Every structure is written in C-alpha cells, then in structure tokens.
Amino acid sequence: MKVVFAGTPEFARLAYAAIVDAGFDVPLVMTQPDRRAGRGMKLTPSAVKLEALERGGEVLQPISLRLDGKYPEDAAAARASLEALQPDVMVVAAYGLILPQWTLDLPKYGCLNIHASLLPRWRGAAPIQRAIEAGDEYSGVGIMQMEAGLDTGPILLEKKLPIERMNAAQLHDALAALGAEAIVDALTKLQANGAEAFEPQVQDVAGVTYAEKLTKEEAILDWSESAEVLERKVRAFTPVPGAKVHLEGFAEPVKVFSAELLLDAEAAGAAPGTVLAREPEGVDVACGQGVLRLKELQRAGGKRQTAEQFVLGWRE
C-alpha cells in the first residue's frame, strides 16, 4: 500500500517514523516550507522533513495546495507529483495547510487525519491545551476520514488516555506516541481489508466544542479565579505560551511552570493575589476561591527556578 504523509511538527514526526518502521511504503512526504527560527533567524526545516531526509525519503514543501490561490504554480506542482504517484492513502498530522477537495479526492482511500482529541470534543487548533484547561478527565487521538470541514469527518479508530496531572507538553508527548500507534493500527486494517476495514462513526454535532488558538493575553492569570481553575491553566499553558502572574514586589509578570492546588488551605479573607507564604516548598497565593502554591517560577529576564531558589532571591 502506497502512503503519502503530510505533517510538520514533532507530533507528526513520531507518526511518520512509526509508519515507516511498520514497513509501509511512503514514497513522498509533504511538510511546511522551512521557517526562520532562533536568535539568528536561520531557515530551519521541520521535524518531519529532518526525519524524512534521514530516512532517504522524498520531500515536497508547497506553500499552498489551492489551485485558485496566491501560489497556483506550487499547488499545480504538488498535484502533478501526487497524480504521478497515485497513492492509496494520505496520512495527515498537524500539517498546517488546508487540503482542498482535489487533495481529499486523489488517494484511493482518501485522507486520514490524526487528531489529538476525542472528537467531536475539541475540534480546531489547540485541543491538547483546551482539554487540560477545561478539566477533562480523558483525552485521546482519533483517526478521522477527512472532509472539507474543520475536523468534521467520521471517526474510523479512537484511542484514549487519562489526563491526570499532565501539563500540555507531557500530554502532547503521550498523545503523539498514542497517535503513532493508532495510525499504524489503522493502516494495517486498511491494507488487509480495504474500504471495508472500518465502521465509520459520524460525529455527534451535539458534542462539538472548539479549541481556539491560545493567546498570550489569556496566559496572564487572573487571581480572582479559583485556585482549581488557575492550576489547570498553568498546566494547559506550559510550555507555550507560558502562564504568567502578577506578584507583589515584581514590576513585570512572573512566569509559572508548575503549581499545586492546596486543598486544605484557606485564604482567611485575604484579597485575591495576596502572597500568604514564601517557603522552600512554594509561594502560596490567595485566589478568588482557595489557595494556589507556585512551585516553579521564572522572573522576567531570569532563569527557571524552583520555589526555594526563587524565594531566596526575592526582594521586598
């Protein structure tokens, strides 16, 4: 079975590597054009491109796939490459380009997307972060038959896992591994049984929620919210864009990497944002309801520190 893979970041790289390691023929990899990154703003290839080149794969990096868009020559060249290959299926994971209808129709079995949520919950840009922020008990990955709509296609296969106390980085890594496992399972079934391999589950529109893209503004936490909500936000916004708080004695917001909800602590009428304790174990702050303990922090221009290190350098 001939597989074209389309993906860009680390989440996609794991899936691509797993597909190749499972013995599937992947004659073409599509990924985003190299981007400028780092202090020197050097052109940097995507994680998927680096993996593909290391494995000797052919890489295609169109700016767009829209034949009627701003880059029709790029789109036409990509279409010619895909038509020449006549792939059985395209696997898409965090690719970053909208797939027009001609792309969805070209492979024999269409395009399969690896989505990092339990659809229809958390369609859109930031499903991992929004699941944590909302306090969901479970997250997971779905292998979806792609349609023209945003994450609207039927689910072919799904795997889930408990979120527990994971932050966004930890959940990302767990879901990337789960997604790699799921897509190999899906391709194995597809290769053995063709179009009859699955019983597609149409998404229930009543359960649809959207995972809006994160903003830097929302990552500045509001002490008037409950400690429970703020603890979830710290985990959801770690590492990007990074939760920040206003603390007494600091002119600029302080970044928080980990925090703990103190279940038995009381603010004793203190105003939200009041620092109740500065101990090696953490900086305890009164919230709209409850107390939040900040355990890893970083002052503006400084390094990431434990609470003990942070407290030692605190100036009134």
Report the C-alpha gap between 75 and 68 in whole angstroms.
9
Give me 281's structure tokens: 């174990």
CATH 3.10.25.10 residue ranges for the chain? 217-313
What pLDDT, on a 0 to 100 scale, did the predictor assign at position 249?
Answer: 86
Binding residues for (6S)-5,6,7,8-tetrahydrofolate: 117-120
> CB-based contacts of 250: which residues, under 8 Å, 6+ apart?
299, 300
What pLDDT, on a 0 to 100 scale, did the predictor assign at position 266?
Answer: 79
Per residue, the 3-state secondary structure of 113-148, as one string, reads EEECCCCCCCEECCHHHHHHHHCCCEEEEEEEECCC
Three-state SS at 4: strand
Identity of residue 274: T
What pLDDT, on a 0 to 100 scale, did the predictor assign at position 173?
Answer: 98
- Of 37, 41, 30, the residue nearest 8 (C-alpha): 30
> CB-based contacts of 265: which residues, under 8 Å, 6+ apart?
276, 284, 290, 291
Contact 86, 2 (CB under 8 A): yes
Q: 217: part of which helix (H) or strand (E)?
A: none
Three-state SS at 83: helix
- Write the class of the CATH domain 2-211: alpha beta
Give me 22's structure tokens: 């499972």
Report the C-alpha gap between 217 and 140 in whole angstroms.
27
What pLDDT, on a 0 to 100 scale, did the predictor assign at position 315?
Answer: 62
Which residue blocks in 194-277 are alpha helix, DSSP H? Answer: 227-236
What pLDDT, on a 0 to 100 scale, did the predictor assign at position 277?
Answer: 94
What pLDDT, on a 0 to 100 scale, did the predictor assign at position 41?
Answer: 84
What pLDDT, on a 0 to 100 scale, did the predictor assign at position 314?
Answer: 82
CATH 3.40.50.170 residue ranges for the chain? 2-211
Q: At what angle do helices 168-193 and 10-21 cross, to 10 degrees?
A: 30
Binding residues: 117-120
Q: Is 56 left (phi over 0), alpha (psi -120 to 50) or beta?
A: left
Three-state SS at 111: strand
| CB-count exposure of residue 84 (10 Å: 0-12, 13-18, 19+) | exposed
What pLDDT, on a 0 to 100 scale, did the predictor assign at position 121?
Answer: 98
Q: Is 20 left (phi over 0), alpha (psi -120 to 50) or beta?
A: alpha
pLDDT tens for each residue of the chain, 316 residues long: 999 999 999 999 999 999 999 999 999 999 999 998 877 888 999 999 999 999 999 999 999 999 999 999 999 999 999 999 999 999 999 999 999 999 999 999 999 999 999 999 999 999 999 999 999 999 999 999 999 999 999 999 999 999 999 999 999 999 999 999 999 999 999 999 998 999 999 999 999 999 999 999 999 999 999 999 999 999 999 999 999 999 988 999 999 999 999 988 777 789 999 999 999 999 999 999 999 999 999 999 999 999 999 999 886 5
What pLDDT, on a 0 to 100 scale, did the predictor assign at position 4?
Answer: 98
CATH of span 217-313: 3.10.25.10
Report the C-alpha gap between 17 and 26 in whole angstroms.
10
Q: 308: part of which helix (H) or strand (E)?
A: helix 307-312
